[in-house]
Structure 1
Amino acid sequence: MSNKEVVPGDSEYDYDSLNDTFYIYYSSRKYSSSKILEDLVIDMNADNKVVGIEVLNASKKFGISKYELRSPVELECEIDVSDRKVNINLKFTFLKRNHHIARTMSVTGTNDMNLSPASNSFALA
């Protein structure tokens, strides 16, 4: 059984163009540790709940310029964690030449990091 956790208005993002990393996180949550799942860094709190997701090599992953990554129009991140599996779906919408461009990324892996079973959503609009 999983519980759904959505914290509206509590999500923020940061883009580091020098290192090409895009970070979406809960602004009120305390970070404790990180785990890597493919090209994502998953930040967790002391209770092993996800508090942030960092996309490495973001401009290459989404096929969009570093300049456009600095100001997304919309961000959605859904995280589903079970005892055995972690599934992360990201959807980014950017403005390019006055047109909305959507990019998605999905990553699934085993829950060998002992994350607490739950479903979390980050959203910025």
Structure 2
Amino acid sequence: MSRGIELSKYDYDLENDSAFFYGTGKKYKKSMDLDGIILDMSEDDYVMAIEILDASKKFNVLKADLQNLKSFDADIEIHKETIKIAMKITIVKRNNSISKCMEAVGLNSMNLPISNQEIALCC
């Protein structure tokens, strides 16, 4: 089953270098940490928010660039044993759009049900 969620908000903490993408209208159930990428899960076991620690390092951009975010997309594949997340950001730098990608894989230690999820945010 594939499900897409449109996120509505983005916060970036320049001092701590953490990016937070989230929506509204869902009830929080639990969080899962995939090596500094924290997935907040809703009661129906879908990703409702993503926090990325050390975001500038993970995307290989300057911290200041993350304040000029144009879009964020994430594809999340939940398998019986693993979770894979592929993320893409687009930033604006010198009036040009620049895209950067990153992937992370971790264990499905919370036994989440198998699914494919897509998350998007346009700024």
TM-score normalized by the length of structure 2: 0.88
Task: Pick one of 10, 13, 31 that aligns with 1:13.
Answer: 10
- What does the per-residue CA deviation read over 1:66-105, in whole Å, with 9 as the maximum and x for residues that have no partner? 2221231121111111211201000001111112111111
Q: Which moved more, 1:93-102 or 1:61-70?
A: 61-70
Aligned partner of 2:98 in structure 1 is 101
In structure 1, list runs of 5 or more residues that go unmatched. Answer: none
Aligned partner of 2:70 in structure 1 is 73
Aligned partner of 2:22 in structure 1 is 25
Q: 1:13 to 1:116 in 2, by over 3 A?
A: farther
| Structure 2 residue identity aligned to 1:34 | S
Task: Pick one of 105, 120, 123 that aligns with 1:123.
Answer: 120
Normalized per residue, which structure has more strand?
A: 2
Separation of aligned partners in 2, 1:29 and 1:18: 28
Contact 1:49–1:116 (Cα < 8 Å) also in 2: no
Separation of aligned partners in 2, 1:56 and 1:92: 15
Q: Which moved more, 1:112-121 or 1:35-44?
A: 112-121
SS at match of 2:61: coil
Aligned partner of 2:85 in structure 1 is 88
Aligned residues: 122
Aligned partner of 2:107 in structure 1 is 110
| Structure 2 residue identity aligned to 1:7 | I
Aligned partner of 2:47 in structure 1 is 50
Instruction: State the 1:62 CA deviation.
Output: 1.5
| Structure 1 residue identity aligned to 2:53 | L
RMSD over aligned CA atoms reads 1.6
TM-score normalized by the length of structure 1: 0.86
